[in-house]
Structure 1
Amino acid sequence: MEYERWTSEQRTETVSVDEHDLEVAYYDEGNGEPIVFCHGIPTSSFLWREIAPPLADDYRVIVPDMVGYGNSAMHDGFDRSIRAQEEMIDGLLDELGVDPVTFVGHDLGGGVGLRYAVHEPEAVDRLVLSNAVSYDSWPIETIVDLGIPSTIDEMSVDDVQEMVEKIFRSTLAGDPDEAFLEGMLAPWNTEEGIVSLSRNAIATNTSHTTEIDPGEVTAQTLLLWGGDDEFQPMEYAERLESDVSDAELVGLDGANHWVMVDQPEAYLDRLHSFLEGA
């Protein structure tokens, strides 16, 4: 199983987030300039399985599971918002002695990268945002509902698995990759997992992107966007392109929200060109 191979290659580091010592699982391969990949909800680092490993020949790729996701800490009692995830990223990179980086973020992970690039401009040389949350573009209704404690109390593990699978099957541009689906469902196959997913959902706080000014981003920025996204539509990418001083928008037609899954070859090719300065 691809997910099992991916997780077998992960490392762990303890990172302090809001004075909580939390275990962070991450994939770390290659040498050279560091690239950090950050996923969103309801995914994990496995989202990047077709993008990060090929780049490890030329770069150091670091792909964490956000806290509350994947194989990182899932127990109750800590914040999972993108504000907290930003603190996790900062702490993890400090532990690894990595600075500066190229930051590649999707969905909530893009919101993390946007905040990090604004707050720590010296730490982010280049920024890639893919179908990222920004401004008041989020959360979506499905995620809001999942975050209500009474909702998750009424759902079994099988119910949550079915709901998450339906999200992917209905929003992937082509026929679902069964290995991808298995990997996306794997973290949410226990009671602890589904409670953590609910806590992740309730932590989707619009204020954490509306409180920052994208115009303060100084990093060279690529907006590599799935053109057919119904969750984070192209109009938000166009707004970011207008507000970020050094930004280029590239839309991949035929790709939905999961752009790196819908068009992995085109995504990797365009990302590689950006990294090489082409």
Structure 2
Amino acid sequence: MHKVAQTGPQSRFYHSRGLRLHYLDWGNSDAPLLILVHGGLEHARVWDQLASQLRADWHVVVPDLRGHGDSGWSSGGAYGIVDMVPDLAALVDELGERPVTLVAHSLGGNIATHYTALFPERVSRLCVIEGLGFSPQARARRDAKPRREQLREWVDKVRELDQRGPSRYPSVTAAVQRLLEHDPLLSRQLAEYVCEHGMRPTEDGQWRWKYDHLIRGTGAAEVASVEPSDLWQAITCPVLLMYGAESWASNPEQDGRVKHFAQAQVIIVEQAGHNLHHHQPEVFMGHLRAFLS
């Protein structure tokens, strides 16, 4: 076991495509590198509970995606998958020429999967928590619409985001309540922690999330995009795909997507939804440790 100083993570910064991006470094730099990537509208601190358990055996690094947490915001709302993959590539290069293990959730999982497909020689293992993007059924429903209609809907959506602005709350407590309504499987303790580290006060005395609200507009490259199964076929490392039994997401073992990976296993976590690593952290950690070992 590697020796680890019992301190919190250190904030560090790097640059990618003109943006100053933030990450947390949990120390133990002589250990194998493990990067945890959060989902959309989240931030690096959502991983704290799990990172603190993994740091004894790994050099744990947790980035804030562009537009999230303490990372810079992209002008023009450039927050598509293709915008974020170079950011992850820049971070891996920042940390040196050594293999990396990636554990990533939702949007972060999609980014990590794309990165692993493009740079398979850099990734030792990949754990993706509900992060393969659209299911075949969802793509079929979307593609039943003409591309012109899809693009028009996207333009209308981003225009509406421009006009509406970010959500504001009278207090952090109000945001906690809203988060619990959105995700009732989340513990109040974790919801309070997520809001405490993920919000900032506004000039008029209210509170807002740290993330850029334009992220909700996704990216033009995702409109009428094809399934990236040809990219998945380039991934050579072991892959763990995890899904919550109570999630809205489609099981890749049932919808056929798992067949595009050379060596992948699918694990379903009971009594858990899309944020299964938060809903059942002990169960998640058990499966993750088994996979990493």
Q: TM-score range by the shorter chain?
A: 0.7 to 0.9
Other-structure match for 1:255: 272
- Return 80-89 or 187-196, whichever deviates more: 187-196
The answer to whether the 8 A contact 2:198-2:210 is kept is no
RMSD: 3.3
Gaps of 5+ in 1: 1-7
Other-structure match for 1:15: 15
The answer to whether the 8 A contact 2:42-2:211 is kept is no
Q: CA deviation at 1:182?
A: 4.1
The match for 2:238 among 197, 220, 225 is 220
- Kindly provide the CA deviation profile for residues 55-80 of structure 1, in whole angstroms up to 9, marking residues without a partner as x: 11111111111111011113645622
* Superposition map of 1:173-184 within 5 A: 173=185, 176-184=187-195
The answer to whether the 8 A contact 1:224-1:251 is kept is yes
Q: CA deviation at 1:169?
A: 3.1
Q: CA deviation at 1:196?
A: 4.6
* Superposition map of 1:1-278 within 5 A: 9-17=9-17, 20-30=18-28, 31-74=30-73, 76-77=75-76, 79-135=78-134, 148-151=158-161, 153-154=163-164, 156-158=167-169, 166=178, 168-173=180-185, 176-184=187-195, 186-190=197-201, 196-204=211-219, 205-206=221-222, 210-211=227-228, 213=230, 214-230=232-248, 232-235=249-252, 239-276=256-293
* Higher RCO (CA 8 Å, separation ≥ 6 residues): 1
Distance in 2 between residues matched to 1:52 and 1:209, nearest whole Å: 34
TM-score, structure 1 as length reference: 0.80
Number of residue equivalences:
261
Gaps of 5+ in 2: 1-7, 143-153
Q: For 1:29, what is the secondary structure of its paired residue?
A: coil
Distance in 2 between residues matched to 1:255 and 1:271, nearest whole Å: 16
TM-score, structure 2 as length reference: 0.76
Q: CA deviation at 1:250?
A: 0.8
- Kindly provide the CA deviation profile for residues 27-65 of structure 1, in whole angstroms up to 9, marking residues without a partner as x: 333241111110111111122122222111111111111
Q: CA deviation at 1:218?
A: 1.1
Distance in 1 between residues matched to 2:184 and 2:235, nearest whole Å: 31
Bigger-Rg structure (1/2): 2
Distance in 1 between residues matched to 2:46 and 2:250, nearest whole Å: 20
1:265 alignment partner AA: E
